[in-house]
Amino acid sequence: MGLVTPVPPVPVSELGAVHFAGIGGAGMSGIARIMLARGVPVSGSDSAPSPQLDELAALGARVHVGHSASHLAGADTLVVSSAIRADNPELAEARRRGLRILHRAAALASIMLGKQGIAVAGTHGKTTTTSMITTVLRHCGADPSYVIGGVLAETGRGAELGSGPAFVAEADESDGSFLMLAPDAAVVTCVEADHLDNYGSLAEIEAAFTAFAGRISAGGLLVACGDDDGARSLADQAAAAGLRVLTYGTTAGVSYRITGITPLGMSTRFTVTGGAGTRLHASGPAEVRIALPGRHNALNAAAALALTAELGFAPGDVVAGLAAYAGARRRMELKGQADGVRVLDSYAHHPTELAADLKAARDVADGGRVIAVFQPHLFSRTRIFAADFGAALALADEAIVLDVYAAREDPEPGVTGRLVADAVPGGRARFLPDKAAAPAAAAALAKPGDLVLTMGAGDVSALGPPIVAALRERAGDDHAGQAGGQPGGRADGRG
């Protein structure tokens, strides 16, 4: 895949009526929400009903279930994502009529135009870091606009038009479209091999991130993770090119250094010390506590602290904002508990993410066993990383592996969840192609004190409440435990 060629963003006032093909997606629905708030006539379609469609309809959008050329009636601009195939009837109709066609990232660039752009990129941690930055800015009274690839628990929304100058956006590297953004400040959490269905190699991914850093405006800021080889290399290149660069992590020599990471159930406590030349240096070390488990979330919080402090917000206010962060849905989200078993949900869909969340789950379980219910996402990713997924799932005591969630890909012969299950050492994984059987299977494995973690980027998150219900039924008590925990809520009552 060649790098995306950036184009100047089209002002929102010139878009006319905008139709979104795939409007129910996390990023698409957020952009549509902000366009509606700015008075743009919006319509859209998606393949299935969803709460996102209902919310947009209530805000004034004209929404449809299913795709049809007739849905473009009155539209001037069509917005598509990489998930929309070339033979989509709405895309074909837009081409036939000569409508303006924008990629989702180009539409995001349009609504960011004129704002102080803050973009968060990286193979892992984008949603959490974007959410943390947004929460801190809200806590500091900056009232930012934001578009997140998830739902912010504090607001119950994944996007909002704020009155302040800042616009915080999750920047998607999966298809190279993040090169359409030109932020004033950016965070890069890590640069690792993924999305190899679009990129030919890690070298191509690294080249894309180098180009992304080159899109940061003159006088802007790059905050990069010094613990990650790829992000650290990018930071060195960007600094050599004259960009202002700060690093964060646990490694000696970073600008914002984390020490004393202490797990506290579903919370984490740590200290961040600012090096010479940072805004934190003068105020002294910051004692931070976040209501999320795991070393990786301490890194995400340090990125948010570094970015917002360097933008001029008082470190004490930033730390208070991080303490107020209530999480984002699907990021170690408590779905409920029954018969002494807690059920959490994770969006992890890459081996590195599985390993990080399973290590965090081990801390949360506090001596209990960890049972993973994993749904592989994409046939290409499953084929490429099957052995790595197996190694990551070895961190669980038991694993149930579902079949592949196809998303935008066609099936590949011989590529199923069994590849992953067979790669888990010690025979501790079971391949379960029938997803409907997973709640009963998980409940049969779990004992009081255990933790069940559903994992994946597909529809595996829907299994949380049925697993809780199966645990309640096992206990013979319709009122035992509670289902549907708050997004990002604490699972242990602490922190």
Mean pLDDT of all residues in 344-366: 92
Is position 10 within any domain?
Answer: no
Do 137 and 168 lie in one domain? The reply is: yes
Other beta carbons within 10 angstroms of residue 444's beta carbon come to 9
Domain CATH code at residue 299: 3.40.1190.10
Mean pLDDT of all residues in 173-177: 81
Is position 92 within any domain?
Answer: yes
pLDDT tens figures, 142-169: 999 999 988 898 999 999 999 999 999 9
Q: Which of 77, 123, 127, 416 is catalytic?
A: 127
Domain CATH code at residue 99: 3.40.50.720
Banded pLDDT at 297 (limits 50, 70, 90) = very high
Domain boundary among 294, 323, 352: 323
Tokens of 131: 């959410």
Do 336 and 221 lie in one domain? The reply is: no
pLDDT tens figures, 437-486: 999 999 999 999 999 999 998 999 999 999 999 999 988 865 444 444 43
Banded pLDDT at 196 (limits 50, 70, 90) = low
First CA to last CA distance, the chain: 45
Question: Which pLDDT belongs to residue 493?
Answer: 28
357, 296, 347, 286: which is closest to 322 by C-alpha? Answer: 286
Q: Which residues contact 172 (CB under 8 A, 6 or more apart)?
A: 27, 105, 121, 126, 149, 178
Domain boundary among 73, 103, 133: 103
Contact present, 45 and 25 (Cβ < 8 Å): no
Q: Which of 93, 123, 126, 130 is catalytic?
A: 126
Distance CA 438, CA 254 (A): 44
Do 291 and 160 lie in one domain? The reply is: yes
Do 266 and 297 lie in one domain? The reply is: yes
Place of tokens 């779990």: 446
Do 204 and 343 lie in one domain? The reply is: no
Instruction: Encode 397-406: b = buried (16+ Cβ within 10 Å), e = exposed.
Output: bbbbbbbbbe
Do 151 and 70 lie in one domain? The reply is: no
Place of tokens 């190694």: 391
Other beta carbons within 10 angstroms of residue 241's beta carbon come to 12
**String of DSSP letters for 410-424:** ---TT-STHHHHHHS
Does position 330 have pLDDT exceeding 90, yes or no?
no
Tokens of 249: 């992590």
Domain boundary among 323, 356, 389: 323
Do 309 and 356 lie in one domain? The reply is: no
Place of tokens 């965070």: 187
Is position 473 within any domain?
Answer: yes
| Distance of alpha carbon 437 from the chain centroid | 28
Within 278-350, residue ranges assigned H as helices are 279-283, 295-310, 315-323
Number of domains within the chain:
3
- Largest Cα–Cα separation, the chain: 65
Mean pLDDT of all residues in 210-221: 95
Does position 18 have pLDDT exceeding 80, yes or no?
yes
363, 264, 249: which is closest to 299 by C-alpha? Answer: 249
- The overall average pLDDT reported for the chain is 91
Domain CATH code at residue 425: 3.90.190.20
Is position 490 within any domain?
Answer: no
Do 370 and 476 lie in one domain? The reply is: yes
Is position 350 within any domain?
Answer: yes
Question: Which pLDDT belongs to residue 160?
Answer: 97
Question: Which domain does 93 fall in, by range?
Answer: 15-103
Question: Which pLDDT belongs to residue 336?
Answer: 94
Distance CA 24, CA 379 (A): 23
Is position 187 within any domain?
Answer: yes
Banded pLDDT at 247 (limits 50, 70, 90) = very high
Do 123 and 89 lie in one domain? The reply is: no
Distance CA 41, CA 324 (A): 35
Is position 488 within any domain?
Answer: no
pLDDT tens figures, 263-277: 998 899 999 999 999
Pairing state of beta strands 429-431 and 267-274?
unpaired
305, 165, 306, 320: which is closest to 235 by C-alpha? Answer: 306
Question: Which pLDDT belongs to residue 141?
Answer: 97
Mean pLDDT of all residues in 404-426: 92
188, 263, 268: which is closest to 230 by C-alpha? Answer: 188
Give the neighbor-by-neighbor strand order of the sheet with 482-483: 429-431, 398-401, 370-374, 451-455, 341-346, 331-338, 482-483
Q: Is 409 a catalytic residue?
A: no
308, 249, 373, 303: which is closest to 127 by C-alpha? Answer: 303
Q: Which of 170, 173, 192, 333 is catalytic?
A: 170
Does position 5 have pLDDT exceeding 90, yes or no?
no
Do 79 and 206 lie in one domain? The reply is: no
Do 192 and 312 lie in one domain? The reply is: yes
Helix (H) or strand (E) holding 352: helix 351-365
The fraction of the chain above a pLDDT of 70, given in percent, is: 94
Q: Is 447 a catalytic residue?
A: no
Q: Which of 80-84, 142-146, 192-196 has the lowest mean pLDDT?
A: 192-196
Q: Is 127 a catalytic residue?
A: yes
Question: Which pLDDT belongs to residue 486?
Answer: 37
Helices and strands of the chain, counted as H and E runs: 15, 22
Other beta carbons within 10 angstroms of residue 89's beta carbon come to 16
Question: Which pLDDT belongs to residue 6?
Answer: 81
Is position 5 within any domain?
Answer: no
Do 181 and 51 lie in one domain? The reply is: no
Does position 4 have pLDDT exceeding 80, yes or no?
no
